[in-house]
A and B are shown apart, each in its own frame.
Chain A
């Protein structure tokens, strides 16, 4: 009996393979039940997202057999023929399975390291498995532990803190310049799709005043209504730039709409109150040299991208710390589990030894008087405990490492024929 993880992810399989083996959520319950019966598993859970399909399972068979039966299930469920998946599937056994699962939940195996969705996806998968009744005491121990590790990684490292998309990086930069975005004002210059998307992101952060300006007032009206903003004439742009905090520029103009000389005058009049200009238009609509002016920060699409790159690098740095946390937690978990099962084995061992000692006495029950029987039984029980004691102490030794303890446990199981499941 062992713990096994079989699956494929964005690291091993392209999307056209991943989509072939994905489990849609509405079919998950049925799939889980089929998995359990077809693969003869005692417990199982399926995690299926757009970037991975993984089956975490616990079974009574030997490891390689469990892996084989899970693979067979994948082929039969998705009506595929071996060896179609062989190049893409990976399998992890026992402690590697634990470690892989902890890493996945902590978003260390994600395409964008540190992205927060994976944890809720794993949580959802667990809920489905609970509903289908396909998880038992082993996975019910392991899976919540992975959630704990993921939370620990999130709080003890900065893995998920920096922004890695154009929208979120704009907000991050706006915060770094302007602080709290409540009560800040923004002007949208140009009413394209991208700028309205950027506006939506910023509006979600509690920006209060919203102005839209465009050469074509009709289109600005549409956006203005959407964000309960105000349409202002394009000619008045300079006036509004005197007090807004953020300007998002995205027009189809072929020349600079904001020129250095204009902004220089404006920023002086603003008494150097910081101004954040995001230029998402290509070709650019904002003179990049405006960035040299004091208290003005101009970011074009490439600049935003370079911040994203730096942020991703930072996430990779943090991931190193996170990996150490995972290693430590895997070892903690294994220690705890092995202590627990050693405890269970120890009590079985005690009763088994007692059984052996009392075997012959029971056979001779009729030849003895009640008092004789009771006295002998008492003595033999005492002897059984004395024999069992050093074995139990050895088994429960808290300093023993989990692998060696497992070996000892296997040995005891063989010697004393304690093969029923613990």
Chain B
């Protein structure tokens, strides 16, 4: 099912006829969503308890973000950047083996924690892509020799709006996710979770985004500088998400 989704996504980015592509993406997204629900009913809790499921959920969250941003902003090239990640993540689910996380899985805090964080990560991904697209369009406009991106991409203001909205919502979800995680850890998890590498990495990531919001909101930074910080932020997200898995620690994903 996931594979079908990734194939659809792959078609979307290659296909010239955007309507067809978007329809195929829509079908893929719908199938993926229904698969998540089906799997959830089958195991009678959210399918979000090992790395494999986490990757699939992350891919779904990125797709959701693409769906929302496409409906809202109609930026076609966004798919070109967002959907390959979906493909990579879905391929990841095929090759990665993992065991479920230990601890009390009956608590709903853990699900709130993971859902919020993955949505936040997906939004941060959109943010960094929006930053990159802003850079491309800014470069075209400064160079005064319009090439492909000038024609493809929407206005700077719109890209900035996309950047900002996803940054703020991503940050809100992340904060919510962290709080839920703390509550769950205090109630049901092992002692000394505060020293877990992933917990530390998450706090660093959170700090980076806090800084980014400050710079954007108070100093009005745009363009190159915020794009670079947002990319750094997303690298930190990737490190938090995947790096901590290999570093060991209490989080299995």
A interface residue numbers (CB < 8 A to B): 158, 161-162, 173, 175-179, 270-274, 291-292, 294-295, 297, 299, 303, 306-307, 310-311, 314
What CA separation (Å) do A306 and B156 show in the bound complex?
A: 20
Pairwise interchain contact A179-B154, C-beta atoms closer than 8 A: yes
Pairwise interchain contact A273-B141, C-beta atoms closer than 8 A: no
**B interface residues, tally (CB under 8 Å):** 21
Chain A residue with Cβ nearest B159: A179
Pairwise interchain contact B151-A178, C-beta atoms closer than 8 A: no
B107 within 8 A of A: no
Pairwise interchain contact B155-A295, C-beta atoms closer than 8 A: no
Pairwise interchain contact B223-A176, C-beta atoms closer than 8 A: no
Contact of A179 among B146, B157, B220, B224 (CB under 8 A): B157
Given known pairs A272-B221, A295-B222, the reply for A306 and B155 (CB within 8 Å) is no
Residues of B contacting A303 in the complex (Cβ-Cβ under 8 angstroms): 144
What CA separation (Å) do A297 and B164 show in the bound complex?
A: 21
Residues from 143 to 194 in B contacting A, C-beta threshold 8 Å: 144-147, 150-151, 154-158, 161
Pairwise interchain contact B220-A273, C-beta atoms closer than 8 A: yes
Pairwise interchain contact B220-A274, C-beta atoms closer than 8 A: no
Pairwise interchain contact B146-A294, C-beta atoms closer than 8 A: no
Pairwise interchain contact B141-A177, C-beta atoms closer than 8 A: yes
B71 within 8 A of A: no
B interface residue numbers (CB < 8 A to A): 137, 141-142, 144-147, 150-151, 154-158, 161, 219-224
What CA separation (Å) do A295 and B159 show in the bound complex?
A: 13
Residues of A contacting B144 in the complex (Cβ-Cβ under 8 angstroms): 299, 303, 306-307
Given known pairs A274-B157, A307-B146, A310-B146, the reply for A176 and B222 (CB within 8 Å) is no
Q: What are some 29 contacts across the A-B interface (CB < 8 A)?
A: A162-B151, A173-B141, A175-B155, A176-B137, A176-B141, A176-B150, A176-B154, A176-B156, A177-B156, A178-B156, A179-B157, A179-B161, A271-B219, A272-B222, A274-B157, A274-B222, A291-B142, A292-B142, A294-B222, A294-B224, A295-B222, A295-B223, A297-B142, A299-B144, A303-B144, A307-B145, A307-B146, A310-B150, A314-B151
Residues of B contacting A271 in the complex (Cβ-Cβ under 8 angstroms): 219-220
Pairwise interchain contact A311-B146, C-beta atoms closer than 8 A: yes
Pairwise interchain contact B222-A158, C-beta atoms closer than 8 A: no
Given known pairs A177-B141, A307-B146, the reply for A274 and B156 (CB within 8 Å) is yes
Minimum C-beta distance from B102 to chain A (A): 48
Contact of B223 among A175, A270, A292, A294 (CB under 8 A): A294
Residues of A contacting B150 in the complex (Cβ-Cβ under 8 angstroms): 176, 310
What CA separation (Å) do A178 and B219 show in the bound complex?
A: 20
What CA separation (Å) do A256 and B161 show in the bound complex?
A: 33
Closest 3 pairs between A and B when the two form their complex, measured CB to CB: A271-B220, A179-B155, A179-B157
Minimum C-beta distance from A308 to chain B (A): 10
B interface secondary structure, majority: helix
Pairwise interchain contact A310-B155, C-beta atoms closer than 8 A: no
Contact of B220 among A270, A299, A307 (CB under 8 A): A270
Chain A residue with Cβ nearest B150: A176
Residues of A contacting B154 in the complex (Cβ-Cβ under 8 angstroms): 176, 179
Contact of A178 among B145, B146, B157, B220 (CB under 8 A): B157
Pairwise interchain contact B141-A272, C-beta atoms closer than 8 A: no
Chain A residue with Cβ nearest B153: A176
Pairwise interchain contact B141-A178, C-beta atoms closer than 8 A: no
Contact of B155 among A176, A270, A311 (CB under 8 A): A176
Pairwise interchain contact A310-B145, C-beta atoms closer than 8 A: yes
What CA separation (Å) do A307 and B158 show in the bound complex?
A: 21
Most central of A179, A292, A314 by chain B CB within 10 Å:
A179
What CA separation (Å) do A102 and B40 show in the bound complex?
A: 58
What CA separation (Å) do A306 and B144 show in the bound complex?
A: 7
Minimum C-beta distance from A294 to chain B (A): 6
Residues of A contacting B146 in the complex (Cβ-Cβ under 8 angstroms): 307, 310-311, 314
What CA separation (Å) do A389 and B219 show in the bound complex?
A: 85
Pairwise interchain contact B145-A306, C-beta atoms closer than 8 A: yes
Residues of A contacting B219 in the complex (Cβ-Cβ under 8 angstroms): 271
Residues of A contacting B155 in the complex (Cβ-Cβ under 8 angstroms): 175-179
Chain B residue with Cβ nearest A175: B155
What CA separation (Å) do A297 and B137 show in the bound complex?
A: 12
What CA separation (Å) do A175 and B155 show in the bound complex?
A: 6
Pairwise interchain contact B221-A177, C-beta atoms closer than 8 A: no
Chain B residue with Cβ nearest A156: B17
Chain B residue with Cβ nearest A297: B141
What CA separation (Å) do A378 and B157 show in the bound complex?
A: 82
Residues of B contacting A310 in the complex (Cβ-Cβ under 8 angstroms): 145-147, 150
Most central of A175, A176, A177, A274 by chain B CB within 10 Å:
A176
Minimum C-beta distance from B54 to chain A (A): 37
Minimum C-beta distance from A240 to chain B (A): 19
Minimum C-beta distance from A192 to chain B (A): 23
Chain B residue with Cβ nearest A310: B146
Chain B residue with Cβ nearest A299: B144
What CA separation (Å) do A272 and B161 show in the bound complex?
A: 14
Residues of B contacting A177 in the complex (Cβ-Cβ under 8 angstroms): 141, 155-157
Chain B residue with Cβ nearest A307: B146
What CA separation (Å) do A280 and B236 show in the bound complex?
A: 47
What CA separation (Å) do A273 and B220 show in the bound complex?
A: 8
